[in-house]
A and B are shown apart, each in its own frame.
Chain A
Amino acid sequence: MTALRERAIVSLRSAPSLPRHVRIQYDPVRLAFAVLSPEKVFWPNEISLDILRRCDGQSTVECIIADLAADYDADPQDVADDVVAFLQEWSNKLLVKL
């Protein structure tokens, strides 16, 4: 029987990273950042891109939230909800590793 892997759940202590099959790349033809994955190309908006860029495997979700709240001069709780939801969604699609 297969040792079943478990679904990862975002916590403030997670240190998200991009898995090997996902990368962010600037596209000089379309003048935009693309996220490349096995069958799909995503064109994240600026906020999504700011989250993904901070997924370096070192920064915790807590740090990422604080950092973004400072950058956007926004309420950390609002930022936290958005960041956690975004990371969980991308993790569910295996585009982010938690």
Chain B
Amino acid sequence: MSAPLLPPIGMLAELTHRCPLQCPYCSNPLELLKANRELDTQTWLDLFSQAADLGVLQVHLSGGEPTLRRDLEQLIAELSALGVYTNLITAGVGVAEGRIEAFAEAGLDHLQLSFQGARAVTTDRIGNHRGSHEKKLETAHRARAAGLPLTINAPVHRHNIEEVQEFIDLALSLGAERLEIANVQYAGWALANRDLLMPDRAAVDRQADIVAAAQEQLAGIMNIDFVTPDYFAIYPKPCMGGWARDAFMVAPDGTVLPCHAAHTIASLRFERFGDRSLAEIWADSPAFNAFRGTEWMREPCRSCERREVDWGGCRCQALAIVGDAAATDPACIKSAAHSRMATLVDETQHSNTAGDDAFMYRRITNPVPAD
């Protein structure tokens, strides 16, 4: 590492893995933690305080479903007192009466609400939860009534990619300031369900056109962020803005990781908050330093003019597809394995004739499939 170590800006706090929904592309690990493994309130408060001291300006409170934590109001209030910008990432299902208002009063800055479909039938089927769409609409209305800024998050895959225009209309009708059209990232549960989730190229192209037109038309009315699909890309995304560069995440048991999927890199050992301070983990953890900056890169990344644009892309995707976490992300056209992406897309279009009831739905009790 030749570049100076910068303080982190953002932190994703996965408060729990518990969730009423069972989305087959969940970004949580296949081995989900039960409630008895979750950090207690005081430990989260200590962690938040250390995070603020370290330079964290934004905390995304996520899960699982973070509102299942009964201490969420207290966690928000503490972050607010520390001057940290708080973003609640919720599925908006089963949130008890009065709590959205309590989050707002505690100082919540922003709420991000997921919709699995723009149509009720899609939302209910993908999350495997009957009536969830209606509940989400109600959560959105309550958030707006409480004065909270709102982002609608739409994870996109084969089963809802034709609903993109409807997602845009839905977000507008709910008064959202922002919409995320986020093509599913194939790690964790999404990787396990890839054959059933991967869209085809024609649908991806149609989607991109709809989003581009809406972004132009809705400038100043609603922001639309488009998370592009890696398997159809030419260049990789700067995953997490670069490994351990300005953000990190904390799992429900206090394990500190550079990204959601980093635990899939079996050669790395991640440390837990409490065993070491956050500052020590950020600066010294071998797992954080493994792919930080550009020193770890090989060709074609090492001499690439984009090496500080995308930071080599996603390490977990390199491992999952190339079998080597230090390889160039195969989403990159310069990767020797780039053509594998198109091949994998083709395979998903032909390998599967089963209905979507073949989904391996996300469940805490699910057996971990053999790889």
Closest Cβ neighbor of B110 among chain A residues: A38
Q: Are A21 and B7 in touch, CB under 8 angstroms?
A: no
Q: Are B149 and A19 in touch, CB under 8 angstroms?
A: yes
User: Residues of B at under 8 Å CB distance from A?
Assistant: 7, 9-10, 53-55, 57-58, 83, 85, 87, 109-110, 112, 147-149, 151, 169, 172-173, 177-178, 219-223, 225
Most chain B C-beta atoms within 10 Å of own C-beta, residue among A2, A19, A20, A21:
A21
Q: Are B223 and A41 in touch, CB under 8 angstroms?
A: no
Most chain B C-beta atoms within 10 Å of own C-beta, residue among A2, A34, A38, A92:
A38
Most chain B C-beta atoms within 10 Å of own C-beta, residue among A8, A25, A27, A36:
A36
Q: Are A38 and B149 in touch, CB under 8 angstroms?
A: yes
Minimum C-beta distance from B271 to chain A (A): 22
Query: Which of A36, A38, A41 sits near B112, CB closer than 8 Å?
Result: A38
Q: Are B85 and A7 in touch, CB under 8 angstroms?
A: no
Q: Are A29 and B177 in touch, CB under 8 angstroms?
A: no
Tell me, yes or no, whether A23 is within 8 Å of chain B by CB. Answer: yes
Q: Mark A1-32, 1 if CB is under 8 A from B, else 0.
A: 01011111000000000011101010101100
Q: Are B173 and A2 in touch, CB under 8 angstroms?
A: yes
15 contacts between A and B (CB under 8 A): A2-B173, A6-B221, A8-B220, A19-B149, A20-B147, A20-B148, A27-B55, A29-B54, A29-B55, A39-B87, A39-B225, A41-B9, A92-B220, A93-B220, A94-B220
Tell me, yes or no, whether A91 is within 8 Å of chain B by CB. Answer: yes
Please name all residues of chain A whose beta carbon is closer than 8 Å to the beta carbon of B58 when the two chains form the complex. Answer: 36, 41
Assuming A29-B53, A38-B151, what are 6 further A-B pairs, CB within 8 angstroms? Answer: A2-B169, A4-B172, A23-B85, A29-B54, A38-B149, A93-B220
Q: Are A25 and B57 in touch, CB under 8 angstroms?
A: yes
Q: Are B151 and A7 in touch, CB under 8 angstroms?
A: no
Given A27-B57, A34-B57, A41-B57, the answer on whether A94 and B7 have CB atoms closer than 8 Å is no
Please name all residues of chain A whose beta carbon is closer than 8 Å to the beta carbon of B10 when the two chains form the complex. Answer: 41
4 smallest beta-carbon distances between A and B, as pairs = A21-B149, A7-B220, A29-B55, A36-B85
Closest Cβ neighbor of B109 among chain A residues: A21
Q: Are B55 and A5 in touch, CB under 8 angstroms?
A: no
Q: Please measure, in the bound complex, the distance between the C-alpha atom of A27 and the C-alpha atom of B10, giving whole angstroms.
A: 13
Query: Which of B172, B178, B222 sits near A38, CB closer than 8 Å?
Result: B178
Query: Which of A20, A25, A41 sits near B83, CB closer than 8 Å?
Result: A25
Q: Are A7 and B221 in touch, CB under 8 angstroms?
A: yes
Q: Please measure, in the bound complex, the distance between the C-alpha atom of A93 and the C-alpha atom of B222, giving whole angstroms.
A: 8
Q: Report the tally of A-B residue pairs with Cβ distances under 8 A.
A: 67
Q: Please measure, in the bound complex, the distance between the C-alpha atom of A58 and the C-alpha atom of B294, giving whole angstroms.
A: 48
Q: Are B172 and A2 in touch, CB under 8 angstroms?
A: yes
Q: Are A94 and B57 in touch, CB under 8 angstroms?
A: no
Q: Are B57 and A36 in touch, CB under 8 angstroms?
A: yes
Q: Are B7 and A30 in touch, CB under 8 angstroms?
A: yes
Closest Cβ neighbor of A22 among chain B residues: B149
Q: Please measure, in the bound complex, the distance between the C-alpha atom of A56 and the C-alpha atom of B54, giving whole angstroms.
A: 30
Q: Please measure, in the bound complex, the distance between the C-alpha atom of A25 and the C-alpha atom of B221, giving whole angstroms.
A: 25
Closest Cβ neighbor of A26 among chain B residues: B83
Please name all residues of chain A whose beta carbon is closer than 8 Å to the beta carbon of B172 when the two chains form the complex. Answer: 2, 4-5
Please name all residues of chain B whose beta carbon is closer than 8 Å to the beta carbon of A20 when the two chains form the complex. Answer: 109, 147-149
Q: Are A93 and B177 in touch, CB under 8 angstroms?
A: no
Q: Please measure, in the bound complex, the distance between the C-alpha atom of A20 and the C-alpha atom of B143, giving whole angstroms.
A: 13
Q: Are A21 and B177 in touch, CB under 8 angstroms?
A: yes
Please name all residues of chain B whose beta carbon is closer than 8 Å to the beta carbon of A4 when the two chains form the complex. Answer: 172, 221
Q: Please measure, in the bound complex, the distance between the C-alpha atom of A7 and the C-alpha atom of B112, giving whole angstroms.
A: 23
Query: Which of A27, A29, A30, A94 sits near B223, CB closer than 8 Å?
Result: A94
Most chain A C-beta atoms within 10 Å of own C-beta, residue among B87, B112, B220:
B220
Q: Please measure, in the bound complex, the distance between the C-alpha atom of A92 and the C-alpha atom of B220, giving whole angstroms.
A: 4
Closest Cβ neighbor of B220 among chain A residues: A7
Q: Please measure, in the bound complex, the distance between the C-alpha atom of A38 and the C-alpha atom of B225, giving whole angstroms.
A: 12
Closest Cβ neighbor of B246 among chain A residues: A41
Please name all residues of chain B whose beta carbon is closer than 8 Å to the beta carbon of A30 when the two chains form the complex. Answer: 7, 55
Query: Which of A23, A38, A92 sits near B219, CB closer than 8 Å?
Result: A92
Please name all residues of chain A whose beta carbon is closer than 8 Å to the beta carbon of B220 when the two chains form the complex. Answer: 7-8, 91-94
Please name all residues of chain B whose beta carbon is closer than 8 Å to the beta carbon of A5 when the two chains form the complex. Answer: 172, 221-222
Please name all residues of chain A whose beta carbon is closer than 8 Å to the beta carbon of B151 when the two chains form the complex. Answer: 38-39
Please name all residues of chain B whose beta carbon is closer than 8 Å to the beta carbon of A38 when the two chains form the complex. Answer: 87, 109-110, 112, 149, 151, 177-178
Q: Please measure, in the bound complex, the distance between the C-alpha atom of A23 and the C-alpha atom of B57, giving whole angstroms.
A: 11
Q: Please measure, in the bound complex, the distance between the C-alpha atom of A91 and the C-alpha atom of B177, giving whole angstroms.
A: 12
